[in-house]
Amino acid sequence: MSTTTTLAPVLSMTGVSKRFGAVQALKDIDFEVAAGEVVALVGDNGAGKSTLVKTIAGVYAPDGGNVVFDGSPVSITSPSEAQALGIATVFQDLALCDNLDVVGNLFLGNERKHGGALDEVTMEQESWRLLRELSAKIPSVRIPVASLSGGQRQTVAIARSLLGDPKVVMLDEPTAALGVAQTAEVLNLVERLRDKGLGVILISHNMSDVMAVADRVAVLRLGRNNGVFRVADTSSTEIIAAITGATTNAVTARAARRAPQEEQS
């Protein structure tokens, strides 16, 4: 089990805590991602993954802890500050405006202009380019996103994070609603981002996706760090044990139950 990276971290945080009333959602979290690295953030439901992502994205202000971005200490107090630093986020709840069309949502807060007015033509053209890149199956970019399917909405949210020139991209369960081809495209995209030298933080409950693209896996359990694993030197069993907090757990029990049955048949 190795916890150090060879590359210089683009984002690193130490001792970050966040509390919601009586719930200690994050407690003394240490976390880092290097340029050109994919870190998977895993943990059970309610482990605090989304809270950590939102803290980095400036949606929640942490109660304590230090954040260093690109070598200098920062305090991210608003989403626009996070964006200005170069942190792009796909939120688990997508955060789209249902009344705006796909183009409006893609470029929200980031509009292209042409002679003082919104440049709808360029924005629409770029929207198509981005969506094609993700093999998106969206019939029209001029319909309100409310009329899109769950996966189409997710694709829009992912495409949005690719605009601008981010240094770190955070994807909170980006493939939860996606079809087989679109999931593969998103995993390809994650690899492309890494090859371009971006730091990628990927949250996923799908172990095979995680093992396929991540360089390291950081495990959260009940709001605390519960180990960092290098994918090359670990197995999904070991990670699942860290997620559930026991070597014998529901997952291993289920596997053990199935094994004898399969031998019989």
Partner 1 sequence: MSTSQTPTDPTAVPAGPVVPADLQDERLIAAQGLRGWAGATWERVKSGDLGSLPVVVGLVIIWGVFYALNPAFISSRNLVNLSLQMVPTGVLALGVVLVLLLGQIDLSIGSMYGLSGAVLVVLFVNQGAPIAVAVLLALAAGAVVGLVYGLLFNRFGVPSFVITLAGLLAILGLQLRVLGTDGTVNLPFESAIVQFASQMYLPAWLSYVLAVAVPVVYLASRLRTDRRRVAAGLSATPVTMVAVRAAVMGVLLVVVVAVLNDDRGLSTMVVLFLALVVVMDLAIRRTTWGRSVLAIGGNVEAARRAGIDVKRTFLSVFVLCSTFAALGGILGAARLASANQSSGGADTNLNAIAAAVIGGTSLFGGRGSAYSALLGILVIYSISNGLALLSVSADIRYIVTGAVLLLAVVIDSLSRRSRAAHGRA
Binding site for partner 1 (CB under 8 A): 57, 59, 78-80, 83-84, 89, 91, 95-100, 104, 108-111, 113, 116-118, 120-122, 124-125, 128, 137-148
Residues 6+ apart with CB under 8 A from 251: 240, 244
Residue 36, phi-psi category: left (phi > 0), alpha (psi -120 to 50), beta (remainder): left
Select the residue whose beta carbon is closest to Mg ion and give its number: 50
**Could you say whether residue 47 binds ligand ATP (CB under 6 A)?**
yes
DSSP-derived secondary structure letter, 144: B
Under rule CB under 6 A, residue 58 binds ligand ATP: no
Stretch that binds Mg ion, among 86-94, 119-127, 144-152, 219-227 (CB under 5 A): 86-94
- With a CB cutoff of 8 Å and minimum separation 6, the contacts of 173 are 92, 203, 204, 205
The SS3 assignment for 250 reads helix
43 in contact with ligand ATP (CB under 6 A): yes
Candidate residues 25, 41, 50, 103; the one interacting with Mg ion per rule CB under 5 A: 50
Least Cα distance to 204 among 192, 187, 191, 189 occurs for 187
Residue numbers 90-149 binding Mg ion by CB under 5 A? 92
Answer yes or no whether residue 51 interacts with ligand ATP by CB under 6 A: yes
Shortest distance in whole angstroms from residue 103 CB to partner 1: 10
232: partner contacted, choices partner 1, ligand ATP, Mg ion, none (Cβ within 5-8 A by kind): none
**Helices (DSSP H) in the chain: which residue ranges?**
49-56, 79-85, 102-106, 120-133, 150-161, 180-195, 207-213, 236-244, 250-264
DSSP 76-135: --SHHHHHHHTEEEE-TT----TTSBHHHHHTTTS--EETTEE-HHHHHHHHHHHHHHTT
Size of the site for ligand ATP (CB under 6 A): 12
Residues numbered 83 to 142 that lie near ligand ATP (CB under 6 A) are 92
Question: In the bound complex, what is the minimum distance in angstroms from residue 97's beta carbon to partner 1?
Answer: 4
- Tell me the closest approach of the beta carbon of residue 26 to ligand ATP, in angstroms: 8
Candidates 39-47, 68-76, 93-101, 174-182: pick the segment binding ligand ATP (CB under 6 A). 39-47
Q: Which single residue is written with the structure tokens 């009940």?
A: 222
Contact 36, 197 (CB under 8 A): yes
Q: Residue 155 carries which DSSP code? A: H
Residue 139 binding target from partner 1, ligand ATP, Mg ion, none, CB below 5 to 8 Å by type: partner 1
Say which entry of Mg ion, ligand ATP, partner 1, none residue 23 contacts (CB below 5 to 8 A, set by partner kind). Answer: ligand ATP
Query: Contact region for ligand ATP (CB under 6 A) — 4-12, 40-48, 72-80, 255-263?
Result: 40-48
By CB under 5 A, residue 204 contacts Mg ion: no
> Contact positions toward ligand ATP, by CB under 6 A?
20, 23, 25, 43, 45-51, 92
